[in-house]
Structure 1
């Protein structure tokens, strides 16, 4: 019988044990990645929301999930120290530049985060790029109170009634975007409809493969959606009723 992950595997977070049950996708010897959770790449320097998420991350030792976030050639570098910690590190360049990777976890979802540090010799250019996975739901019992379109980080976020910021749950190949007539805005429109129908409690990805309501899709694909903004649950409800958010 063909394996069906939607039927045979349920990814859950246990507050008592503190981790996600996670499925890996492996094509030896070339590639390892997440099979269900969508991969995310964030520049946290330009977005206040990405910075808020970044600032809660906790350092940790690398494990198998971090390996899925990098290429096979980069995987050994997860264990090499940064030039700031060891100028003779294999990741150091001339004792001052750096091409290291550092590993973290999101303490709320326990999802892995790998951060690539790029620093030129003398430090004229320095950059940190964050790689992680989107969750597949919000924590049990939490209600979405705001959906955030973040153009600076090219992300969509969810804030819950506990004030916690999450990457909007997303599955592989079903990403969100806004401001043009395409599959990303259509997926976002379908997610908005699901959120509104559940009063903010069902924020699971994998919306039905059907056309969203014309009023919602017209907005998500318009210039009105193509800038950073926070939409409250009440505004999302208004959008579904009228096609506008204010």
Structure 2
């Protein structure tokens, strides 16, 4: 996509002191090549007024501040003599042109505040359109091989915001028929499909804006997405997804940790057997104290599992906090360092209770809901991450708890209430829980409450 550079608008007062507004170009800038500094691709241009660096971040967290810091660290006191201006395209787009990427600039001397510029202004300084790579297409080989006049490289869409390398690496080492492999292959292919469709749409809209005279008319594309050769992936069944994630979250290797990090950012681990993390204080809650009595110490001579690492990341001090194990729920528990402000225990709620014994009582204690089944086993009430349950008020948390208890009375294996799912809880049950303090209700009391209409 080669786009035509048009005349620049008159400079305004807010940018009149910037290097880009002062730079003069009598001949097109010389392109000096691409180098990689940490998580940045730095393309250097030599202009009549000094060198300019066009910097494309290669990770989602590589912003303008870290780009400037990386170049300052690399060049030290020579940065000002090496570059007059740093320009960093953003993942976000312009307000008036929603498919044209924003440009932020940072002069190395004089006007040192970060400022917004345009592709038109950049093209005037360079004497030619500058290249842009959508974040789904920032391939190192394509970036290093680019030169002015080069056609856009064909790059398989691989979004820097959601890299899938860990998924494919884990799946490649799994045996045939592995649920973990099925989960990882599906996610990787789904992410690639979404990335391809997203960037294809953005390029199409950018071209429309450019043809209508938008700022995108002053850039060229460094890459376009390579064709997809697979049909849309078919999502594995819920049983396979949950079996796959159960296997992954019990693993202790760094690859499983990376895959789990991906799942947390992608859908908050919606298909894991665990849900929310609950903070418990056995010193002040008799029910929590009963639960804590069954905990055992986790092995200390091996790396943490995926779930253990998640708890450790929420602790005070990984070297002093103590990992425990709940042998009934099969989940880790973190005993945070005693004597500190955040002392107490952290435990995962399950998304489903692994029992056939029916609900016998519901205990509400210190903000936590506990379910005891007919066989005497005590459980934290099922709860999804980010969709909390509560009582003692007429809010969303109590609404969710009422729906959950209504379901558990009929089926103890019913899942935690899902975000966005519909359905009203019984009015009587909601009224009972919304007006409750710390207490325990029997099964008979709960059934009686849900039959009341007022």
Q: Summarize the alignment of residues 89-128 of structure 1 with structure 2, pairs less than 5 Å apart.
A: 100-119=320-339, 128=343
1:26 to 261, 264, 274: 261
Change (3 A) 1:130 1:5: farther
Is residue 2:445 matched to residue 1:241?
A: no
CA deviation digits over 1:179-209, x for unaligned, max 9? 112110000110122123x1x5344212543
Supply the RMSD in Å over aligned alpha carbons: 3.2
Q: Is the 8 A contact 1:148 1:157 kept in 2?
A: yes
CA deviation digits over 1:137-182, x for unaligned, max 9? 22232211111111x2x21001011111110111112221111121
Change (3 A) 1:217 1:139: same
* Separation in 2, partners of 1:5, 1:149: 37
Q: Is the 8 A contact 2:291 2:378 kept in 1?
A: yes
Q: Is the 8 A contact 1:39 1:133 kept in 2?
A: yes
CA deviation digits over 1:97-156, x for unaligned, max 9? xxx200100011110111111337xxxxx8741011001222232211111111x2x210
Following superposition, the deviation at residue 6 of structure 1 comes to 8.0
Change (3 A) 1:146 1:22: farther
Q: Is the 8 A contact 1:134 1:170 kept in 2?
A: yes
Q: Is the 8 A contact 2:403 2:417 kept in 1?
A: no
Q: Is the 8 A contact 1:216 1:243 kept in 2?
A: no
More RCO (CA 8 Å, sep 6+): 1
TM-score by length of 2: 0.40
Give the equivalent residue in structure 1 for 2:284: 46
Aligned residue pairs, count = 201
Q: Summarize the alignment of residues 147-158 of structure 1 with structure 2, pairs less than 5 Å apart.
A: 147-150=362-365, 152=366, 154-158=367-371
Q: Is the 8 A contact 1:57 1:105 kept in 2?
A: yes
In the alignment, structure 2 segments of 5+ residues that lack a partner are 1-188, 192-234, 250-258
Is residue 2:448 matched to residue 1:228?
A: no
Change (3 A) 1:179 1:119: closer
Q: Is the 8 A contact 1:34 1:68 kept in 2?
A: no
Instruction: Write 1 or 2 for the structure with the bigger share of helix.
Output: 2
Query: Secondary structure of the residue that 1:49 maps to in structure 2?
Result: helix
Following superposition, the deviation at residue 71 of structure 1 comes to 2.5
Change (3 A) 1:44 1:214: same
* Separation in 2, partners of 1:172, 1:131: 14
Q: Is the 8 A contact 2:356 2:413 kept in 1?
A: no
Is residue 2:310 matched to residue 1:68?
A: yes
Is residue 2:364 matched to residue 1:145?
A: no
Instruction: Return the index of the structure with the highest Cα Rg.
Output: 2
In the alignment, structure 1 segments of 5+ residues that lack a partner are 13-19, 81-99, 121-125
Change (3 A) 1:102 1:5: farther
* Separation in 1, partners of 2:236, 2:407: 21
TM-score by length of 1: 0.70
Query: Secondary structure of the residue that 2:279 maps to in structure 1?
Result: strand
Q: Is the 8 A contact 2:297 2:325 kept in 1?
A: yes
Q: Is the 8 A contact 1:219 1:243 kept in 2?
A: no
* Separation in 2, partners of 1:53, 1:39: 15
